[in-house]
Amino acid sequence: MTGGGLYIAISANPTIINCIFSGNYAGGTGDYDGGGGIGNVRGEPIVKNTVFCGNQAVYRGGGVMNRSIYEIHPDFINCVFFGNHSSNGGGMANVGPQGTDAEIINCTFSKNQANNGGALYNYVNVDLTIRNSIIWDNIGNYGKNIYNGRNFFDSDPTLTSSCMNGGLNASPWVYNVIEDGIDLCRIQDGGGNTYDNPNFPTGSDGVWTSGAIYNSSTCQSVLTNTNSSWITNELVGNFINPDTSQCKHFYIVSNTATTIIVWGDITSIAHGNDYYQIFDYNLTSNSTNCIDAGDNNIISESYDIAGNIRKIDGNGDQTVTVDIGAYEYAP
């Protein structure tokens, strides 16, 4: 199956803005199977201000799969990829052989999981460009963050003004396929990168006092912890892993003092007595390595994914500079 949430076919060039792809599934292990959220085969979509969370693909691209035998240039701007899962590319898979050259600008990837490439899987002649983005704390056996593979053609993504664990090609965060003793696939340094912790806010956690209840008329699930005392709607826009024994995250639509509502049917995931954790991926005053650290020359959007002004003086140095990641810090 190609595209659990959306299938983009040959030569289609849609613009996708302000969407949430959550809890979608793409089965199959065929050459064009994949893309739990979006399966893109030879299309060139422009995707902006969009959330990919809790999606799964059996083969490739838990959040998104870009697949083409011809050169394509899909763009992802101000997008977040949290808690998606696949065998190859938990967040996104880019597969050639003739140049699946996606451009990723001001995006954030975290807590995605795959065997190969927790955040990104690049295979066969993929010259991916990553700019002003955060790739942090993803989960993978071969490349916790990024897997770069080849089959006669190298995959050489470029990282510019971005934040990533460990270092440019540091194991175990990046896995580069080696053939005949030669490391032919490597991330190229575009300059301005940081490898320090972005210091996302510390989220709360707890245990559900009952299992999730799904409302088919709203396509939302209600989660309950009668021991909590949240402020009404204080959690809106955050993400929750409803059972920390697995990786999937879901977008919080609303909350009361004791309940949380998320998109999708998660009754098979969240049960009574399951341990949960809430995540906030905004920048804080401690995110000094990401605040005013991006490249102004490559941004085209006036606002971030949350609707905040995209470029401000966040560190008080009297210079207006874009932040790294999908969320702009507002002091």
Residues 6 or more apart in contact with residue 217 via CB below 8 angstroms: none
> Average pLDDT by consecutive 10-residue portion of the chain (331 residues)?
94 96 96 95 95 98 91 93 98 82 95 98 86 98 92 74 93 84 79 97 95 97 98 97 97 98 96 98 97 94 96 94 96 86
Q: E strands, 199-324, where?
A: 205-207, 210-215, 220-224, 239-241, 250-255, 259-263, 275-279, 311-312, 321-322
CA 320 distance to own-chain centroid? 26
For residues 47 and 80, is the Cβ–Cβ distance under 8 A? no
Distance CA 132, CA 166 (A): 17
Q: What is the pLDDT of residue 149?
A: 83
Cis status, amide bond into 172, omega within 30 of 0 = yes
Q: What is the pTM of this model?
A: 0.96
Q: What is the pLDDT of residue 183?
A: 67
Q: What is the pLDDT of residue 89?
A: 97
For residues 210 and 246, is the Cβ–Cβ distance under 8 A? no
